[in-house]
Amino acid sequence: MNETQNFTSLSLDDIRAVAPSVFTTDKASHLTDKYIQTPTSRVVEDLIALGWKVIKAQEVKARKGKGYQKHIVVFRNPDVTIKGQDGDDASPQILLTNSHDGKNAFNFRVGLFRFICSNGLVVSDKDFNNVSIRHMNYTFESLQENINNVIAKLPGLVHKINLFKSKILTQEQMTEFAIKAAGLRNKNKVDALELLKADRKHDEGNDLYVVYNRVQEKIMSGSYGYGTKNRKARPVKNFTQDVKLNEELFELAESYL
């Protein structure tokens, strides 16, 4: 494995320190006896048993319902890698979201992590529809089946990436893409050239994949100015907004195929 592909996984204690709601075992007081409580930690342990490592965990801040709030756990498997040209490899990620207040089922999304830029993308594609498992229907076997289905579809994701790479954009299309992408965060005026600037050699060029990646990275990290006073955008830190915005950016890129 390439050194750039090594990553530090989180232990259960690490997860508990940043997202204790993952380990909540009791159900919220407003839920009836019919509600089946399955702690997210059980799913985490099952995914670890299937070879997936936790690389990030986070929970929303909550004044009410603390301990039951929505949270996210991101997994990556060191043995599952999408090989790219010139070392531009990527690794599929599984994004698990849940809450223990009865408002959410276990929801699984597919992400993509590029080793070169240490940047994560969230795939929004008809072939990778979000998978939900209700608490009362959760079993290790149901989890394993859904994860195997995701892995079986990875060749389709590779094909989609190759389509992105083969699509060459005109300068007009790149400018339009950058402006539309920024508009998903806010409606303020932006400098498209700033968003389109390549920060590394691997992101140079005008194919859809590199344009999408460098614009997405700046949108998510807040590395651009906006408005008439050219204020600096802030990084996206709320994971719910992060996932939603990432999915919308992927759909925007797909619209150029």
pLDDT digits (tens, 9 = 90+) for 42-54: 999 999 999 999 9
Mean pLDDT over 29-37 rounds to 77
Range of the domain at 185: 167-254
Q: How many domains does the chain have?
A: 2
Model confidence at 171: pLDDT above 90: yes
Q: Is residue 161 part of a domain?
A: no
pLDDT in tens, 230-253: 788 999 999 999 999 999 999 999
Do 127 and 186 share a domain, yes or no? no
Domain boundary among 96, 123, 154: 154
pTM of the model: 0.85
159, part of any domain = no
Residue at which a domain ends, from 154, 179, 199: 154
* Domain shared by 48 and 128, yes or no: yes
Query: 162 in a domain, yes or no?
Result: no
Say if residue 120 is in the same domain as residue 172.
no
Rounded CA-CA distance 173/169 in Å is 6
Question: Can you give the pLDDT at residue 247?
Answer: 92
Across 169-192, average pLDDT: 94
Indicate whether 240 and 120 sit together in one domain.
Answer: no
Taking phi first (over 0 means left), then psi (-120 to 50 degrees means alpha), and beta for anything else, what does residue 10 get? Answer: beta
Pick the closest to residue 35 from 136, 122, 184 (CA basis). 136
The residue to which tokens 């990556």 are assigned: 76
3-state secondary structure of 92: strand
What is the biggest distance separating any 2 CA atoms in the chain, rounded to whole angstroms?
59
